[in-house]
């Protein structure tokens, strides 16, 4: 539920919504420029962060675009807790550069209290252990978008560059269980402190009213991971850098449909280089509002 007539640049949302943090988080999958989400969002935010709560946005009456946002929510996607487990704040600023260029940049902060958040970790015996995390997750996101369209008309040709950097800090307790005799983790709980980050950069060029081509590079940094003493010889920090490159070509016969071919060189799993080909068809039904910048 969202207000439509508060005036003075103020908008309020209540209920379930996609958080306003970052740039791509508010976009539904059909609006993505690639068939899948970038690695940073997939690994840290579960593709995108949706909440049950309250969001307040204010667009300032300034010559350039200036938006502030605050959110308070249940944080239901982060475990079995109830109450206000999530708080977020963000600011976005943007402007035109001449008649053919426009940009937007933003900074976001998200704090989530996790309770019983499930995950998986390969233990020191190379057995996949089930994990649960109780503690605090903090996120910082920086985003930037640049758009070009000749004389401000994107109908025939346009280009969009976008990039985001995500940093996550976690502090709390981690439990692990292998559920198999071959595993190194028989059921242990101890402290867990981690600092990780990820980023992506992509460019999409429309060279014909119905055709676009795009390239994306995304990467994760495992950063620092400190386990409590009970995890000695049980869990260790992964010693590799997940990354992926994607190339896409899509055809848009109308504003309601899209056919996309995508090739990706995926090195997101340790010791595995995966060549992926995706053929995707998207069709929208019913009234559909314009997408944001």
pTM of the model as a whole: 0.90
* Spatial CA neighbour of 18 closest among 35, 32, 4: 32
**pLDDT for res 83:** 47
Burial of 172 (0-12, 13-18, 19+ CB in 10 A): middle
Q: What is the predicted pLDDT for the residue at 291?
A: 64
What domains does the chain contain, in order, with CATH numbers?
10-283 (2.40.160.10)
Asked if residues 111 and 90 have their Cβ atoms less than 8 Å apart, the reply is no
pLDDT at residue 75, rounded to an integer: 66
Model pLDDT for residues 104-127, shown as the tens digit of each residue:
999 999 999 988 888 888 778 878
| Integer Cα distance of 176 and 26 in angstroms | 33
Q: Residue ranges of the alpha helices (H) in 144-285?
A: none
Give the pLDDT confidence score for residue 70 in this predicted structure: 96
Instruction: Kindly report, residue by residue over 79-106, the tens digit of the pLDDT.
Output: 544 445 899 999 999 999 999 999 999 9
Give the residue ranges of the chain where pLDDT is below 70.
1, 4-5, 75-84, 182, 286-291
């Amino acid at each position: 539920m969202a207000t439509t007539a508060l005036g003075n640049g103020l908008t309020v949302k209540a209920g379930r919504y996609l958080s306003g943090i970052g740039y791509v988080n508010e976009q539904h999958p059909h609006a993505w420029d690639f068939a899948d989400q970038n690695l940073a969002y997939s690994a840290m935010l579960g593709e995108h962060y949706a909440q049950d709560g309250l969001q307040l946005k204010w667009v300032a009456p300034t010559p350039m675009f200036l938006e502030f946002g605050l959110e308070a929510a249940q944080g239901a996607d982060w475990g079995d807790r109830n109450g206000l487990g999530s708080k977020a704040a963000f600011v976005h600023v943007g402007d035109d550069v001449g008649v053919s260029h426009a940009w937007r940049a933003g900074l976001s902060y998200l704090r989530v209290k996790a309770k019983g958040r499930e995950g998986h970790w390969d233990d020191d015996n190379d057995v996949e252990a089930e994990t649960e995390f109780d503690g605090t997750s903090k996120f910082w996101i920086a985003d930037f978008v640049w758009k070009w369209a000749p004389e401000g008309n994107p109908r025939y040709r346009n280009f969009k560059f976008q990039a985001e950097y995500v940093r996550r800090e976690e502090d709390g307790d981690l439990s692990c269980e292998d559920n198999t005799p071959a595993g190194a983790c028989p059921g242990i709980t101890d402290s867990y402190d981690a600092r990780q980050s990820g980023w992506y950069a992509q460019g999409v060029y429309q060279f014909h009213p119905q055709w676009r081509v795009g390239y994306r590079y995304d990467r994760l940094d495992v950063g620092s991971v400190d386990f409590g003493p009970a995890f000695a010889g049980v869990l260790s920090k992964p010693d590799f850098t997940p990354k992926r490159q994607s190339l896409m070509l899509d055809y848009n016969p109308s504003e309601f449909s899209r056919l996309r071919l995508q090739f990706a060189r995926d090195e997101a799993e340790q010791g595995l280089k995966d060549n992926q080909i995706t053929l995707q068809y998207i069709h929208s039904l019913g009234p559909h509002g314009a997408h944001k910048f």
